[in-house]
Amino acid sequence: MNHTRKTVKKRKKKKRLRRLFLLVFLLLLGGVGAFGYNIYSETKQASSKIYQALDPSGKPARNIEMRKDPFTVLLVGVENQYHDEEGRSDVVMLLTVNPKTNKVYLLSIPRDTRVYIPSEGRKDKITHSYSHGGIQSTIAAVNELIDVPIDYYVTTDFEGFEKIVDSLGGVTVDVPFTFKAQLTGSLKWHTFHKGKQELNGNEALAYVRMRKSDPRGDFGRNERQKQVIRAIIDKSTSITSLPKLDDVIADLGDHVRTNIPPSDLLSFIYVYQKMKNADVENLHLKGYDETINGVYYYIPDEQSVSSINETLRQALETSNASLTRSDSPSTQSQN
């Protein structure tokens, strides 16, 4: 009899523990849901300040479900973005993400790369593309080189870049070699020592812009840009940074533009969180130096361009969306 009573008591105790566990779980789930909804609503409101569609109708070029379909994002660092068409596209990077294969491709296009710029009607340095029609012109110039659809873009000026880094409390990078670079604003010289170093916004900007002291020139500069972009995305999409994401976006209203809809911003964060440890393949645009009419250019190697195009098109082929580009037919034949 006593044995039976003890058994019944144990069962009741286990049942109460299970109920308690279930209650705690539901409370946590509800809390996370409310927290997520709060972030979503606040982030959506803040991100509407930086949203700028490419098409006047606001419709994307392709029907993309960011959590499922592969997509591309063009990251452009602009000088003098306040003056829109007077600025230059100082940094041009193409990010290709495939959630299905868990792969990310990152391509940096050197600023002196000679490409056909449709808005100019001639070949020029890609850094000049922004000053002849803004982001639309830069996208068209990139498409003259890389024959894949560009689904999304993000542009920021130098002040915006500094604010992003500072809002996140700085970023940590692994400096490849010791060098000195001049800081914007104060014009003071800062020494970047080889090894891991935490940088504030002003220092991070100098770090990614330095080129003359790098033995690899533009290629070394591009690697440092990728390094910092990865550090920014890692930190901005971490769970500890999400509560202040809306504040960060609100502060960047005058410095950042993107056509990622506010409703898709958290989907982008979700995808990145899911793929945080994904295999990132850095694509290198091979080419050679050439001076034409007294002006230095970086001339892309045709075989390298063809290889990059093939890699990226394969990365996007698993999508149900069409690979048709949103711009006018290619004018690459114009030399």
Give the pLDDT of residue 45: 57
pLDDT score recorded for residue 79: 77
Q: Which domain holds residue 311?
A: 45-166+241-316
Mean pLDDT of the chain: 78
Q: Which of 49-63, 82-96, 280-294, 296-310 has the highest mean pLDDT?
A: 296-310
> What six digits make up the tokens of 308?
């990059």
Place of tokens 């990226």: 312
d(CA 38, CA 243) in angstroms, rounded, equals 9
Count of structural domains, the chain: 1
Q: Within a domain: residue 123?
A: yes
Find the range with the poorest average confidence among 107-116, 241-250, 268-277. 241-250
Question: What per-residue confidence (pLDDT) applies to 44?
Answer: 57
Domain for residue 294, yes or no?
A: yes
Please tell me the number of Cα atoms within 13 Å of 93 on its side-chain side. 28
Residue 110 lies in a domain: yes
- Tell me the average pLDDT across 114-125: 95
Return left, alpha or beta for 12; rule: phi > 0 is left, psi -120 to 50 is alpha, else beta.
alpha
State how far Cα 259 lies from the chain centre: 12
In a domain, 330, yes or no: no
Cβ(152)–Cβ(55) below 8 Å: no
- pLDDT for 330 equals 38
pLDDT at residue 23 in the model = 46
In a domain, 21, yes or no: no
Which pLDDT belongs to residue 146?
A: 96
Residues in a beta bridge with 276: none
Say which CATH number the domain at 98 has: 3.30.420.590
pLDDT the model gives residue 119: 92
Q: In this structure, are strands 152-157 and 71-79 parallel, antiparallel, or unpaired?
A: parallel
Residue 291 lies in a domain: yes
**Burial letters 21-56, b for 16+ CB under 10 A, else e:** eeeeeeeeeeeeeeeeeebeebbbebbebbbeebee
- Residue written as tokens 């890609």? 126
Residue 214 lies in a domain: no
In this prediction the pTM is 0.71
Amino acid identity, position 217:
G
Identity of the highest mean pLDDT range in 18-22, 101-105, 148-152, 208-212:
148-152
Quick: pLDDT tens for 289-331: 999 999 999 999 999 999 999 999 999 986 545 565 444 333 4
